[in-house]
Structure 1
């Protein structure tokens, strides 16, 4: 028996509205948590990340700049809290954007959950698609007008979906300053059949949770995500344990072949240094896009105690959705 959260509210310190960029709340999976009430992680972020990073896969709630502070769940579903629910510890991660290098700020931002003893039919869950947030996945040339980053999620990702399917109720696209569009498409039998969500005009300063006008049912089978830069998270029900993300990066073998370099590719810090010293030209930027279009991918999927990583081939081709043109009324 446990309580249900009916909604959550992010509390943004009014003094720091100008520097709090986004906030994430994560579950700490009991099987992988290596601390308890007597030895909780403490200290500066860099000092405690080895302990805390095991709690950064299973999303509970997210907020980004421009979003509403309050998110109310649908009447048939809620987030379980306490009691028999196995999650005891949570991680609140706050990202700051301080380009003016302001000093002397103290922040008291946080989150509040509104709970009820009345049970709801389903538990809320989150699925996160897109790319991993590292240089292997997101190495975008400077001074280009357009650059496409694709991510692919294979058919067996949804093998643990219930036969009755899951219901997607909202979409939360997230990128940083270079993101202009974020979209996710469903692919069946080599053909795009619909958007899960199409954020064609993405604005860094207005990163809303987009409640779908009509919930979308997904069933065991296959889907593909096509996200331009970074991440696309969806709220759904019923929750599936140990299934929280399906994200990709370019495989290291593809990077080695493209850059004709092996000694600096496998070390991420050396790879970043290599990227910062490239002499960019328009022709190289075009070659870079071709590389992204044809590179093999490495997949990370799962969540909690059940993560899986494996190499994939290039993304399969498919028949795209027809372009919808604006019409003057």
Structure 2
């Protein structure tokens, strides 16, 4: 038997030696294959001992590696299309570029020790894909090591197969620079698959002299990034800019959430211009002892900003007066400002702004029909600091008009307290619908072309997708994020664009993880609340400004077993939610001491609660078992950890009735408000992020019966032969 095995192996190897070897194909902007070879693969049979063997494996890796990189080769000369600072001090800069199969990185770090970079779904090293680079102090040559973090401790250990290839590296008196590359999908269980979703990019810096010994790092952190986002930049056409900023707004220390709105008049332009992009201007200074100071590491409370067009209004005198004013607290802004409903720029945390495609522009200037704009800034001040803020948006525009005029469309779940997410849920879904009746009434016969999408939610959201339904069939998603991080809300370019026709349906779906929450989360602007929105950049411009849905009021309360409240009918409650007035000041005849019932927020005041306070003041009359309880007390007492309760609630609010809203640019209705059932269509198979994530290696047992050992020898031999053939 063993002689037969050896003969078979010999024949296979002899045949392989005679096979022609194919030459590798190089993608554009891609280096030729690294000529480095390995004399043997590094293999560890006992995961629990890997950390103890790390130093020995590093030494073996260095000895067996044929070094071809020299200290005078400082960089590759690649065109780095992306660049991000990973830390707040600017000590770690990551640059990268990619092809269809590979991705190349350059790390510039303030350290004379090792530089570690990692990729993971979570912002920690447990199970992360890690690469360690350093400059040998004796030879001055660069080295890298492919590692991964242990699932339990997160400690780095060397991979069995080294899939990272060194490009170049050098060190000066202060910094270490390493360039390397890898396949997007190495098909290695110990490596991370780099795709379209947000990746947690980890970094770690070793102490001076830590050349591959992997001692404890002296600095570390993480930042969410999308590594495969298309590169966008302004074209060569002449550009101007218009800075739309708040001027020295004092944010009080007792306001946890603050919305501020201000009117701006368009610059005096001789003709219509086109907006070609926008950038955030963040200027937040904490006030210390009554004096605003500049602190390098202080975090700005600016959470998101939206700039809206204001439809033409005949009373220009009032608008000029408003443009000269400092602005208004959001809920108290004049009702006339409701015509400022069409977003043209939407920025959120982590975004660097956006450049429009070179054939698309948004009209700007009185000659374009727009005279006034409203800037809305949401400040998230949960730390309750006193801050002086002058933030805003820089609008980039050009007199060279582009082929297509574009606009932004808001879609998703209407922002209100009726958007409820239960606690203790691993994956709870909510949905907002842009109905076929709305798009059929407002879109042109040729439809629109979607360019990019900004998906927006708050801290418990984990997935967001913008779905597309035509007739009875769901099409491929317009945009999606399967690893959503509220700290990184960069708009997503739709590759090749997407044609969206009259009568098509747009569905924004959000999935939340509330396992760390003890009480229900209600919809609202505060970061302690939730949203589910899509801002869609498209062309040609239409009169449609917003397309949302929410659960009808009576359907919402019936879902939680409530039929009637004291002193407030369902119709009146619904009218309050549908009104554009301020829900904060609503009171009812059943007025009680909120403090004595512990209904006051333990944090600061929420500046715009979208009806949360109303829900707290509603007292149940029917059914009898809930009588005299406030609705919020009733919600807080429900058994949210019981799937028999939560699953039917999710299904009813998701698949049940929806109240549809279709808003035009002048704040009028595109169609009357309608209540409809969730649309019926043939859905595509679900796209779970877990399907994209390779499982960790499970090594076979080394203790087997003799008979079993003999029965598996032939598959093992063939596997070894195939491995040798592929490697050659």
Alpha-carbon deviation of 1:38? 3.2
- Tell me which residue corresponds to 1:77: 360
1:220 equivalent in alignment to 2:490:
no
Q: Contact (CA 8 Å) 1:244, 1:303: kept in 2 or not?
A: yes
The one-character-per-residue Cα deviations of 1:168-210 (angstroms, maximum 9, x if unpaired) are 1101000011211111111123221210111122111111111
- Tell me which residue corresponds to 1:291: 652
Alpha-carbon deviation of 1:311? 2.7
The one-character-per-residue Cα deviations of 1:255-305 (angstroms, maximum 9, x if unpaired) are 243333233551644334444212120244334223313431111112222
In structure 1, C-alpha distance between the alignment counterparts of 2:401 and 2:428, rounded to whole Å: 46
Higher mean Cα deviation, 306-315 or 168-177?
306-315
Change (3 A) 1:284 1:47: closer
Q: Contact (CA 8 Å) 1:52, 1:91: kept in 2 or not?
A: no
Specify every segment of 5 or more residues in structure 2 that has no aligned partner in the other structure, as ranges.
Answer: 1-270, 286-297, 511-530, 577-610, 618-629, 696-728
- Tell me which residue corresponds to 1:9: 279
The one-character-per-residue Cα deviations of 1:46-73 (angstroms, maximum 9, x if unpaired) are 57423475155210101100111x3211
1:165 equivalent in alignment to 2:447:
yes
Change (3 A) 1:275 1:213: farther
- Tell me which residue corresponds to 2:456: 174
In structure 2, C-alpha distance between the alignment counterparts of 1:313 and 1:47, rounded to whole Å: 30
- Tell me which residue corresponds to 1:151: 432
Change (3 A) 1:47 1:322: closer
| Aligned counterpart for 1:66 among listed residues 350, 353, 367 | 350
- Tell me which residue corresponds to 1:186: 468
In structure 2, C-alpha distance between the alignment counterparts of 1:295 and 1:32, rounded to whole Å: 43
Q: Contact (CA 8 Å) 1:167, 1:237: kept in 2 or not?
A: yes
In structure 1, C-alpha distance between the alignment counterparts of 2:383 and 2:557, rounded to whole Å: 38
1:120 equivalent in alignment to 2:402:
yes
Change (3 A) 1:47 1:186: closer
| Aligned counterpart for 1:280 among listed residues 631, 638, 659 | 638
Q: Contact (CA 8 Å) 1:251, 1:311: kept in 2 or not?
A: no
In structure 2, C-alpha distance between the alignment counterparts of 1:169 and 1:33, rounded to whole Å: 35
Alpha-carbon deviation of 1:39? 4.8
| Aligned counterpart for 2:423 among listed residues 139, 142, 153 | 142
The one-character-per-residue Cα deviations of 1:89-148 (angstroms, maximum 9, x if unpaired) are 111111112221112x11111122222211212111111211111012x11112222211
| Aligned counterpart for 2:564 among listed residues 237, 262, 271 | 262
Give the secondary-structure state (helix, strand or coil) at the position aligned to 1:87: coil
In structure 2, C-alpha distance between the alignment counterparts of 1:155 and 1:71, rounded to whole Å: 29
Runs of 4+ displaced beyond 6 Å: none
In structure 2, C-alpha distance between the alignment counterparts of 1:7 and 1:293, rounded to whole Å: 36
Give the secondary-structure state (helix, strand or coil) at the position aligned to 2:361: strand
Alpha-carbon deviation of 1:31? 3.9
Give the secondary-structure state (helix, strand or coil) at the position aligned to 1:292: helix
Specify every segment of 5 or more residues in structure 1 that has no aligned partner in the other structure, as ranges.
Answer: none
- Tell me which residue corresponds to 2:592: none
Higher mean Cα deviation, 28-37 or 294-303?
28-37
Higher mean Cα deviation, 199-208 or 156-165?
156-165
- Tell me which residue corresponds to 1:97: 380
| Aligned counterpart for 1:205 among listed residues 471, 487, 496 | 487
In structure 2, C-alpha distance between the alignment counterparts of 1:46 and 1:213, rounded to whole Å: 36
Give the secondary-structure state (helix, strand or coil) at the position aligned to 2:507: coil
Higher relative contact order (CA 8 A, sep 6+): 1
Give the secondary-structure state (helix, strand or coil) at the position aligned to 2:428: coil
Change (3 A) 1:191 1:164: closer
- Corresponding pairs, count: 325
Give the secondary-structure state (helix, strand or coil) at the position aligned to 1:226: strand
Give the secondary-structure state (helix, strand or coil) at the position aligned to 1:93: strand
1:195 equivalent in alignment to 2:470:
no
Higher mean Cα deviation, 127-136 or 13-22?
13-22
TM-score normalised according to structure 1 size: 0.89
1:239 equivalent in alignment to 2:239:
no
| Aligned counterpart for 2:615 among listed residues 260, 271, 281 | 271
In structure 2, C-alpha distance between the alignment counterparts of 1:2 and 1:315, rounded to whole Å: 42
In structure 1, C-alpha distance between the alignment counterparts of 2:395 and 2:536, rounded to whole Å: 19
In structure 1, C-alpha distance between the alignment counterparts of 2:404 and 2:443, rounded to whole Å: 14
In structure 2, C-alpha distance between the alignment counterparts of 1:49 and 1:230, rounded to whole Å: 24
- Larger of the two Rg values belongs to structure: 2
In structure 1, C-alpha distance between the alignment counterparts of 2:331 and 2:652, rounded to whole Å: 37
- Tell me which residue corresponds to 1:25: 307
Give the secondary-structure state (helix, strand or coil) at the position aligned to 1:253: helix
Alpha-carbon deviation of 1:85? 1.8
